[in-house]
Amino acid sequence: MEKRKRRKAPLIILMVLAVFISLGAGMAIGRSGMVPDSVTEILTPDQPDMPSGNGQAPEVNLNPVPEYTDGGYETTEIFEKVNPSVVSINVYAGKSVSPISSGTGIVMTEDGYIITNAHVVDGGSSVNIVFEDDTQMRGTIVGADADTDIAVIKVTATGLTAAEFGDSSTLKIGERVVAIGNAGGLSGTCTQGIISGLNRDMDAGSRSLALIQTSAAINPGNSGGPLVNRYGQVIGITSSKIAATDYEGIGFAIPITEAMPIIQSLIENGYVTGRAVLGVQVIELNESNGPMNGLPRRGMYIASIESYSDLRMKGVRERDVIVEANGVELYSTDDLMEQLLKFSPGDTMNLGIYRPETGETFHVDVKLVESR
């Protein structure tokens, strides 16, 4: 019996029939057991047709918590302070009259940069922004990063009410927080809770983030909206929740301190620079979907290889399985991502490749490319 590594939270949760969802179009997030049709993890440059950024990114301060020890603002005061910086987002594709998705955004700068989730704008070609006073503007997608579920939109405007941002690295479990957003299409919805957990690795994309867990009620439409501390500072971007009959009050937000470098790179370049990828789409194998398809019980099944990937040059092909990376046995996509994070584009990574047709494993040195 092969030794199995301890799995991360979403797999355990899914085994007890909960659903971990993103909160724009209500898309379920999990791992597929189908081979080879369902590609659930992407380790390849994504969205190459996205805009290429707008140039110099604005400076945004992450303010410390005020140096007084009272309980902070009342919830009504927090809402009055933050809601003018919260927008509703409707996303359209092609010539569609009805939006394909909707969500929430946070005004980051007075001159029109707005933060939201990547899954809110995914597949869209036109974005309509609705402000607190019902003013509507057309927005342009500056960049989106599916790996971390962060996107930036730009509207042509000046004098907007920008949110105040806090330092999420100083958060403590039990702190009071407020979520504001377009929940269920109801703009300006405000809910309150506490920080229920920190550094929750929910693995909602091909790169995991240490998410904030909160008991504040989160619903579809909240995606991309602010999670705010008791002083009215945005400390997180609401992104997902666990939705099931037996689960209540388990929502998640992307910490703003981790999100800000990604946001800056999206504004400057349209994508996140410096990420090394293999240029493949893979499916994680396990005790069930591997053997029933004549494949190993672990490893990353290669569903497709991009034309620019060095894997093609090294004789690797679709249906092969990546079983090792730098001598480390692979049981999950997290294992592979952990190794990739040690490298920069242009570096070389050693991979162990299993070929089902022959039952043999061979090793190749593959040059990594930059994710775009």
Give the pLDDT confidence score for residue 69 in this predicted structure.
52
The Cα 61–Cα 290 span in angstroms is: 48
**Active-site hit among 122, 147, 149, 334:** 149
Contacts of 224 (CB under 8 A, 6+ apart): 24, 89, 103, 104, 105, 106, 115, 116, 117, 120, 151, 181, 237, 238, 239
Is the Cβ–Cβ distance between 222 and 182 less than 8 Å?
yes
Give the pLDDT confidence score for residue 54 in this predicted structure.
61
Domains of the chain (ranges, CATH numbers)? 31-44+274-370 (2.30.42.10), 49-273 (2.40.10.120)
Exposed/middle/buried for residue 8 (C-beta within 10 Å: 0-12, 13-18, 19+): middle
**How do residues 33-64 score in pLDDT, each as one tens digit?**
334 333 433 344 444 344 556 667 777 877 77
The Cα 200–Cα 198 span in angstroms is: 6
Is the Cβ–Cβ distance between 34 and 288 less than 8 Å?
no
119 labelled catalytic: yes
Query: Which of 79, 184, 181, 84 is CA-nearest to residue 132?
Result: 84
- The one-letter code for the residue type at 133 is D
Q: How much is the mean pLDDT over the chain?
A: 82
pLDDT band at 210, cuts 50/70/90? confident
**How do residues 77-106 score in pLDDT, each as one tens digit?**
999 999 999 999 999 998 889 999 999 999
**How do residues 154-173 score in pLDDT, each as one tens digit?**
999 999 999 999 999 999 99
3-state DSSP assignment of residue 28: strand
The Cα 320–Cα 363 span in angstroms is: 12
Contacts of 346 (CB under 8 A, 6+ apart): 367, 368
Give the pLDDT confidence score for residue 337 in this predicted structure.
86
What is the token pair recorded at 5?
């590594």
**Active-site hit among 101, 223, 240, 371:** 223
Q: Is the pLDDT of residue 114 over 70?
A: yes
Tokens 């499916």 belong to 283
pTM over 0.75: no
169 labelled catalytic: no
Lowest mean pLDDT among 56-60, 321-325, 335-339: 56-60
Lowest mean pLDDT among 8-12, 166-170, 265-269, 351-355: 8-12
The Cα 248–Cα 246 span in angstroms is: 7
**Active-site hit among 119, 145, 240, 309:** 119
